[in-house]
């Protein structure tokens, strides 16, 4: 349900901001005050007036209207209205009604939000009625010359004009076609200008409904007295800045509970779908259902079984949520299940249900649920909760087994079922109304029942026409362009092609606007094939000019880009069919695309069939499938989708379309074609569009329609049957019969699943279908039985002649999927022990990145995790940071900085300049840290006294690493050494090596004052002491880190900071190419250079 109601104050604020007359002046004032729960309780209006705010001075200069602003109708008749009052009267009214519980139309709620605005004195003749309402064909604009609460049936009375989805409305047309003669002449131009401007704002800001009753005209001024409006929430990415601050309130009497708000917040942060509505917190039946369509069906079933009062919640999770999202969702529900202090006397039931997923990894999502069940195991047992599971789809067997094993081991009663069990059969089992049946052998792969003669027979192996016609969107020769880098979906389509025996892949090219032209490898059976990736649709079509069957676009464009990319496709005459997979495409954009596709001129290619948005697509067994329709290959095999049957279906729900594949394959000779038109309110093609194709298709003998609450499309089907336009047998069911059990509007899984009148309810539509002669079951649970009954009758009558089932071909399993299922193994290419980015959160040596910041471990702490794979004491992390600061830079003259500067001035980028500086680090530059650590620790470990160590180095004519400085001396100490030395002596548990080095310094400085322990030596010795005595390492580990060059790494890391600084400094100064001055070079002529024997170099040649 993307159309969301807004508060009256917010709707009026939007109109005040954007409604302008032909001269650009605002039509209405923005004088109104919103009172909410956060507003001070005592005399809020007086407080606002006394505040002196410019926005509230009008409160003291006019009479006021006060009324609740909580989506309540007929507030005046209910007495919740103050008219013609002053500030004191307004405060008194608010004091009386704020936080008061009231009942309106049978719904009880608390009045918290109010709107206060100027009272407009006027006559009854000054009131008018204006309404704009969006429908599939366009926007209906209604006008009536009377307004107010007693206006009556405006649908019957008002003058109405229809504006096409891609049309516009000007004042001239309002005058000629909308304003009735009863409107006084002096007001006609003003009202015409207003209505035209109102429609322009309606379109621009993606309203879906806007009613003003009454609209009042006093003199030359227009006033909007009462307003009801709905905005398309999916247009937020287009309109958020235009709407301004906005929230979509809950229906009156249904304030969001904390758990509902939490799930709503989770849902807003992911591309998956998470919904939760708490109906009865004390109920004993709880649902955790996968799939928007499936969630409605499970709720329907409980309603049909007469236990709706025991149902605790409605909700769904879908769209391949991650393990962590599923865990958070499941944890929220389980916290509610186990919240009561006293267990329910009959125990509780948790139904973890769902259809057969198309692409969601069932095992992965079940991991999150299992994790939550483990967490609540004790409470679940205390509340005597039994768990009932039914699911199918990718990796479902592993998921069900994991669920069974884990929950059983916890001592919680559980019963798990796969696709062999009807989707909603577990509901009656859970309630004790039926017993679980013995599980059938599950069909999959080469061992499937599909490879054996089917008792109910198969259809003809003829897959229909090879050329597209008015009833065949897809043939065995259809080829397509896939928009978006959906490599998995492309591979699924190619695997289906191979399974069906196609000679060539159905995917010709992939369009990806964010990269240049290139090729991608895919599997064609066991072999590999290359498919081009190009940046736009025109280029893809141009690449295959001679392919007359390339007429389909499968679009995985996001909701933000689906509109523009589809318009690009419509501009290509060769494109005849477009499948839009994305959810969340704004309704107006969809309606514009529908209009453009329907009205495309013949010379530009003629009309285009659009499947979607918000769909999984469609499938024609033996011919073609859209993306992931039909699910994984094991489900394609189990449902016999590799060859045509005699039954064609059309559904709104993508998830339930896969359930229909399963039902039809088990009760008939299989599916001939299936299309999920999409869950949005305005799907690109309708039930009738596809039923008429099936009616004309000689291969289709039986049709199935699965509708849902919302919309009136099913009534067109009824009329077509009565008019004999549709004559083939039709089995139909509309889900959402549970809607009447909800006292307020509930967010069902699909955007279009919402009834705006009794005519749009599922019960009304099922009754109408039955009355028209359609085969309608009593519930979804009986849908399969009814399909079987009609099919069997048609076989007996000879309408359907079953044939021998052919063996299903084999398709090699992808290595990645086989590995996931545990069927194959191979050694890893390399091993990493320091970080892991596979889960919900990046891990550093097992520490989540969130904890890194929560515990403020700093750069030193991060370095300890990534270099040492463990957390070092705080003093050690601090010392690491001190060393990095000390070694960050030592001026521009040193080798590394010099190289960096020269490279930067040569015009190179940052990385080459940095690397040129780093490459100078070695034994003579930076290596002294590593050398000093090894030299001092080795001497100390060997038991040499400082005197013997100095004496041995003198005898070997070797310099002592870490001793000596060009400038600093005993009397001019290096401040850096003093800081590090004092910190180590104060914080380290032991400083043996540092003391040893200081003893050596005492000896060397006797010879010469500048033979002091320098900063390199101090760092090296301190780190030896840190590694050996911080209790984080064994002696062997500490020595290994020293041998592996850890200290050089520290110098490299620290000095990189300075090198980058020098690079940026040179770029900032815009220094030119560096050339070394010739006077700083000593040039030697080889002919003048003499060797040691007095012979010139030249003489050697």
Catalytic residues: 750
As beta bridge partners, residue 223 has 216
Specify the residue for token string 């072999």. 527
User: How many CB atoms neighbour CB 932 within 10 A?
Assistant: 28
Three-state secondary structure string covering 690-759: HHHHHHHCCCCCEEEEEEECCCCHHHHHHHHHHCCCCCCCEEEEEECHHHHHCCCCCCCCCCCCCCCCHH
Give the integer Cα–Cα distance in Å for 1034 and 1045. 17
Q: Using alpha carbons only, what angle is made at residue 986 by residues 984 and 992, rounded to the nearest 5 degrees?
A: 50
The alpha carbon of residue 621 and the mean position of all alpha carbons in its chain are separated, in whole angstroms, by: 31
Give the integer Cα–Cα distance in Å for 1063 and 283. 68
Q: Using alpha carbons only, what angle is made at residue 275 by residues 272 and 278, rounded to the nearest 5 degrees?
A: 165
CB 199 within 8 A of CB 139: yes
Q: What string of DSSP letters covers 286-302? A: EE--BSHHHHHHHHHHH
Q: Where are the beta strands (DSSP E) in 153-206?
A: 159-164
User: How many CB atoms neighbour CB 999 within 10 A?
Assistant: 15
Strands 647-651 and 847-848: unpaired
- 917 burial class (0-12, 13-18, 19+ CB within 10 angstroms)? buried
902, 918, 1052, 1069 from 914: Cα distances, Å:
11, 6, 11, 17
Structural tokens at position 206? 């993606």
Give the integer Cα–Cα distance in Å for 531 and 921. 47
Give the integer Cα–Cα distance in Å for 863 and 850. 16
Please confirm whether the linkage preceding 954 is cis (ω < 30° from 0).
no
Q: Which SS3 state, helix, strand or coil, does residue 550 take? A: strand
Strands 527-534 and 507-511: parallel
Give the integer Cα–Cα distance in Å for 1022 and 1046. 13
Give the integer Cα–Cα distance in Å for 593 and 1038. 68
- 413 burial class (0-12, 13-18, 19+ CB within 10 angstroms)? middle
CB 1071 within 8 A of CB 1065: no
Which secondary-structure segment (H or E) carries 1067?
A: helix 1046-1069
CA nearest to 292, candidates 765, 754, 815: 754
Non-local CB neighbours of 349 within 8 Å, separated by 6+ positions? 284, 285, 286, 385, 386, 388, 430, 431
The alpha carbon of residue 412 and the mean position of all alpha carbons in its chain are separated, in whole angstroms, by: 33
Specify the residue for token string 């016999």. 640
Give the integer Cα–Cα distance in Å for 1090 and 510. 72
49, 634, 969, 1003 from 1010: Cα distances, Å:
79, 79, 4, 12
CA nearest to 704, candidates 683, 728, 680, 681: 728
What's phi and psi for 285, nearest 5 deg? Answer: -110, 120
Residues 527-551 as b/e (b if ≥16 CB within 10 A, e otherwise) read eeeebbbbeebeebbeebeeeebbb
Structural tokens at position 481? 């362009």
């Amino acid at each position: 349900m993307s159309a969301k109601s807004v508060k009256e104050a917010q709707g009026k604020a939007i109109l005040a901001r954007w409604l302008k007359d032909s001269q650009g002046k605002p039509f209405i004032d923005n004088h109104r005050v919103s009172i909410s729960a956060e507003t001070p309780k005592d005399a809020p209006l007086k407080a606002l007036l006394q505040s002196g705010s410019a926005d509230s001075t009008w409160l003291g200069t006019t009479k006021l209207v006060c009324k609740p602003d909580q989506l309540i109708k007929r507030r005046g008749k209910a007495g919740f209205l103050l008219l013609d009052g002053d500030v004191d009267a307004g405060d008194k009214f608010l004091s009386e009604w704020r936080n008061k519980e009231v009942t309106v139309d049978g719904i009880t709620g608390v009045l918290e939000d109010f709107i206060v605005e100027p009272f407009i004195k006027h006559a009854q003749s000054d009131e008018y009625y204006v309404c704009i309402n969006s429908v599939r064909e366009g926007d209906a604009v209604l006008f009536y010359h009377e307004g107010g609460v007693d206006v009556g049936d405006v649908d019957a009375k008002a003058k109405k004009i229809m504006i096409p989805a891609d049309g516009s409305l000007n004042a001239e047309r309002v005058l000629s076609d909308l304003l009735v003669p009863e409107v006084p002449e002096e007001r006609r131009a003003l009202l015409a200008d207003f209505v035209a401007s109102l429609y322009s704002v309606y379109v621009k800001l993606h309203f879906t409904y806007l009613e003003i009753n009454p609209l009042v005209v006093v003199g030359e001024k227009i006033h909007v007295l009462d307003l009801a409006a709905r905005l398309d929430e999916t247009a937020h990415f287009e309109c958020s800045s235009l709407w301004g601050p906005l929230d979509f309130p809950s229906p009156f009497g249904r304030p969001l509970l904390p758990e509902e708000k939490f799930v709503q917040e989770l849902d807003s942060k992911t591309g998956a779908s998470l919904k939760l509505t708490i109906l009865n917190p004390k109920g004993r039946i709880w649902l955790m259902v996968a799939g928007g369509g499936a969630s409605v069906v499970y709720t329907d079933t409980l309603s049909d079984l007469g236990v709706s009062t025991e149902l605790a919640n409605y909700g769904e999770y879908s769209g391949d949520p991650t393990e962590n999202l599923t865990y958070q969702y499941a944890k929220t529900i389980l916290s509610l299940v186990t919240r009561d202090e006293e267990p329910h006397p009959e125990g509780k039931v948790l139904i973890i249900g769902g259809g057969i997923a198309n692409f969601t990894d069932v095992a992965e999502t079940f991991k999150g649920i299992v994790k939550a069940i483990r967490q609540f195991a004790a409470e679940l047992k205390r509340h005597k909760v039994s768990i009932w599971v039914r699911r199918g789809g990718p990796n479902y067997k592993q998921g069900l087994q994991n669920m069974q094993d884990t929950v059983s081991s916890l001592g919680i009663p559980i019963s798990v079922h796969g696709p062999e069990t009807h989707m909603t059969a577990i509901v009656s089992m859970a309630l004790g109304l039926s017993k679980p049946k013995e599980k059938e052998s599950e069909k999959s792969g080469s061992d499937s029942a599909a490879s054996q003669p089917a008792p109910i027979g198969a259809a003809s192996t003829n897959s229909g026409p090879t050329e597209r016609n008015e009833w065949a969107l897809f043939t065995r020769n259809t080829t397509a362009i896939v928009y978006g880098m959906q490599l998995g979906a492309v591979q699924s389509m190619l695997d289906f092609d191979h399974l069906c025996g196609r000679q060539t892949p159905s995917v010709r090219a992939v369009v990806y606007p964010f990269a240049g032209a290139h090729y991608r490898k895919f599997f064609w059976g066991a072999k590999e094939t290359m498919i081009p990736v190009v940046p736009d649709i025109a280029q893809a079509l141009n690449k295959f000019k001679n392919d007359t069957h390339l007429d389909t676009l499968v679009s995985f464009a996001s909701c933000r880009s689906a509109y523009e990319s589809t318009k690009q496709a419509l501009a290509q005459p060769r494109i005849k069919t477009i499948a839009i997979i994305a959810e969340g495409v704004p309704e107006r954009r969809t309606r514009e695309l529908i209009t453009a596709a329907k009205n495309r001129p013949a010379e530009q290619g003629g009309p285009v069939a659009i499947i979607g948005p918000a769909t999984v697509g469609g499938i024609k067994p033996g011919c073609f499938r859209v993306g992931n329709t039909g699910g994984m290959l094991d489900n394609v095999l189990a449902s016999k989708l590799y060859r045509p049957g005699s039954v064609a279906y059309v559904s709104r729900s993508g998830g339930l379309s896969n359930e229909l594949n399963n039902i039809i394959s088990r009760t008939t000779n299989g599916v001939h074609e299936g299309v999920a038109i999409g869950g949005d309110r305005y799907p690109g093609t309708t039930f009738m569009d596809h039923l008429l194709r099936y009616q004309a298709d000689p291969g289709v003998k039986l049709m199935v329609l699965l509708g849902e609450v919302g919309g009136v499309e099913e009534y067109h089907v009824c009329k077509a049957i009565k008019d004999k336009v549709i004559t083939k047998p039709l089995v139909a069911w509309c889900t959402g019969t549970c809607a009447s059990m909800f006292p307020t509007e509930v967010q069902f899984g699909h955007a279009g699943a919402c009834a705006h009148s009794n005519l749009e309810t599922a019960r009304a539509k099922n009754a109408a279908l039955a009355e028209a002669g359609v085969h309608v079951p009593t519930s979804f649970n009986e849908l399969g039985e009814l399909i079987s009954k009609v099919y069997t009758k048609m076989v007996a009558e000879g309408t359907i002649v079953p044939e021998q089932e052919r063996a299903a071909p084999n398709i090699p399993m992808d290595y990645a999927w086989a590995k996931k299922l545990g069927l194959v193994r191979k050694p890893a290419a390399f091993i990493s022990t320091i970080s892991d980015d596979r889960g919900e959160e990046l891990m550093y040596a097992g520490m989540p990145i969130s904890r890194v910041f929560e515990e403020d471990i700093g750069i030193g702490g991060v370095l300890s995790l990534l270099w040492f794979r463990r957390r070092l004491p705080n003093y050690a992390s601090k010392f690491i940071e001190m060393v990095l600061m000390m070694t960050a830079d030592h001026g521009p003259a040193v080798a590394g900085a010099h190289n960096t500067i020269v490279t930067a001035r040569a015009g190179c980028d940052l990385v080459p300049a940095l690397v040129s500086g780093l490459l100078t680090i070695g034994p003579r530059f930076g290596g002294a840290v590593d050398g000093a650590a090894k030299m001092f620790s080795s001497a100390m470990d060997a038991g040499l006294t400082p005197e013997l160590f100095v004496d041995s180095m003198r005898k070997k004519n070797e310099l002592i690493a870490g001793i000596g400085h060009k400038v600093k001396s005993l009397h001019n100490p290096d401040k850096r050494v003093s800081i590090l030395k004092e910190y180590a002596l104060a914080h380290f548990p032991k400083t043996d090596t540092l003391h040893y080095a200081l003893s050596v310094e005492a000896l060397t400085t006797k010879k010469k004052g500048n033979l002091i322990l320098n900063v390199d030596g101090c760092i090296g010795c301190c780190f030896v002491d840190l590694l050996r005595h911080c209790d984080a390492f064994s002696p062997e580990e500490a020595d290994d880190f020293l041998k592996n060059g850890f200290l050089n790494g520290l110098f490299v890391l620290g000095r990189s900071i300075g090198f980058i600084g020098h690079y940026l400094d040179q770029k900032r100064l815009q220094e030119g190419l560096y050339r070394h001055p010739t006077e700083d070079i000593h040039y030697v002529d080889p002919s003048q250079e003499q060797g040691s024997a007095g012979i010139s170099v030249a003489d050697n040649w």
